[in-house]
Structure 1
Amino acid sequence: MTASDLFVSGNGAEWKNPEPGVTRRIMAYLPEMMMVEVVFEKDAVGALHSHPHIQASYVAEGSFEVTIDGRTETLHQGGSFIVPSDLVHGVRALAKGRLIDTFTPHRAEFLK
């Protein structure tokens, strides 16, 4: 996929395994924004980390314990959260689940 693709079929996306029990695929992106689907097995962890990108995430399926800047909340399907630049954040899947993450600007390291 290139940044010029305006329509992206789910069939052509490459899935990657960034952490145990976690798979992700880039759904679409431009230099200014990226959308990523992330699937978690029960109890899988998206380790605490930070990045300069603003991140907004939607819980498409399942339940997650979400930690942002030391504050932890439980979110269920239909919930969402936003992470300002450089705040430490991470998630733990309380059940098998799926997040739709958006980043601005795009995460160039995800393209490698």
Structure 2
Amino acid sequence: MSEHKLFGKADSVAWMDVAPGTKRRVLLHLPELMQVEFKFEKGAGGALHSHPHIQVSHVLEGRFDVTIDGTTQTLEQGGSFIVPSGLMHGAKALIAGRLIEVFTPQRDEFL
């Protein structure tokens, strides 16, 4: 287990620019599981996409329009959503906000 961190502190991980108005930082990961924080400016978001990973997301702050498999809901701080493998999904920040997302297995392209 020594090659993987078992504990983490967000302030020790650098943010990475991933798109205009969007940043991410990988908080912790194992090959089977990954926790990532995303920060969005108002109007920014993730375009509709799909991936083989199962994803669960929690709105840490802000308000987002979240679309999963053609259905859109507005979620605010404290809301959560889950995306099964392969479904088209995306989110748009209605105000600035942050999401905590967990993926299984880890998203190798984020490392």
Q: TM-score, normalised by structure 1?
A: 0.94
Structure 2 residue aligned with 1:28: 28
Residues 32-43 of structure 1 aligned to structure 2 (within 5 Å):
32-43=32-43
Structure 1 residue aligned with 2:58: 58
CA distance change for structure 1 residues 4 and 46 in 2, over 3 Å: closer, same or farther?
same
Alignment partners' CA distance in 1, 2:59 and 2:19: 19
Alignment partners' CA distance in 2, 1:93 and 1:54: 21
Residues 1:72 and 2:69 are matched in the alignment: no
**Runs of 4+ displaced beyond 3 Å:** none
Structure 2 residue aligned with 1:7: 7
1:9 deviation in Å? 2.4
Helix, strand or coil: the match of 2:78? coil
CA distance change for structure 1 residues 3 and 74 in 2, over 3 Å: closer, same or farther?
farther
Alignment partners' CA distance in 1, 2:3 and 2:101: 17
1:3 deviation in Å? 5.4
CA displacement, residues 37-94 of structure 1 (integer Å, 9 cap, x when unaligned)? 0000001121111000000000000000000011100001000000000101000000
1:5 deviation in Å? 0.8
> Larger % of strand: which?
2
Q: Which amino acid aligns with 1:90?
A: G
Q: Which 5+ residue runs of structure 2 have no aligned equivalent?
A: none
CA contact (8 A) 1:61 1:99 kept: yes
Structure 1 residue aligned with 2:45: 45
Alignment partners' CA distance in 1, 2:6 and 2:107: 17
What's the C-alpha RMSD, in Å, of the aligned pairs? 1.2
